[in-house]
Amino acid sequence: MWMDSGIASLIGVVVGVIAANGAKFVEHHVQRRRAAQYLAVRVITTLDHFMAGCVLVAQDRGQITSDGLHVEPSAALPKLEFEGLDVDWKAIEPHLAYSVLGLPNEVAAAERVVAENFDPRNVPSDDYDVRQFQFARLGIVAHDVICRLTRVAGLPAYSPERKNRLRSLELSFERRRQERESWKKKMAELGRQAAESAEASNRALREARGEIDPA
């Protein structure tokens, strides 16, 4: 009887420990999920604002200054910062956190490309294509991250406004991409023609010197 009572007490202790630990695990899981949902909502809001700024830049062809001598941007490059968000980045999966936190670096890289290629004094300026291409691309990337975050927050991935923004960005990106491909082909063709011309000139010179027989 004594052994039965002791075993029963031991089982009771074990069950109590398991129940307590189970309750702590559930509480931790609930808190972690709430933290992840809160993070997702804050970041989605930030990225929606950034995406809207990308649309403005992707559509910007500049405006003539009052003196009529220059073209200046009508849309400022959008900024993207997460430092002010009071969120727990460990609450979401590492791959998703990496995608989110890596976006500001991509924005900074795009800004450098724009700065290296953009001269608003050009009239008309093809440099606006660089701004449009870079920020249309970033807006699309931001939308992809938003969609991943909506699954964390349990929110719909698409809203009418966000869908319209994405469509505008995709059209701008594709237009600029096609123009870039066309420009590359033209440059390649000009290079080929220059090489053929140089080869023909060199052959004519060698023929004139009697180094080779005329064809």
Average pLDDT, integer, range 107-128: 75
Q: What local confidence, expressed as pLDDT, does residue 28 receive?
A: 45
Spatial contact of 130 and 172, defined as CB atoms under 8 Å apart: no
Which stretches of 60-120 are DSSP H helices? 94-117
DSSP 76: P
Question: CA 46 to CA 98: how far, in whole Å?
Answer: 16
Tokens standing for residue 175: 């237009």
> Letter for the amino acid at 203?
R
Question: CA 116 to CA 130: how far, in whole Å?
Answer: 10
Q: Does residue 157 carry a pLDDT above 70?
A: yes
Q: What local confidence, expressed as pLDDT, does residue 156 receive?
A: 84
Question: CA 105 to CA 107: how far, in whole Å?
Answer: 5
Reported as a single tens digit per residue, the pLDDT across 158-194 is: 788 999 999 999 999 888 777 767 656 766 776 777 7
> Whole-model pTM?
0.72
Question: CA 149 to CA 38: how far, in whole Å?
Answer: 10
Indicate the range of 6-15, 34-43, 144-153 predicted with least confidence: 6-15
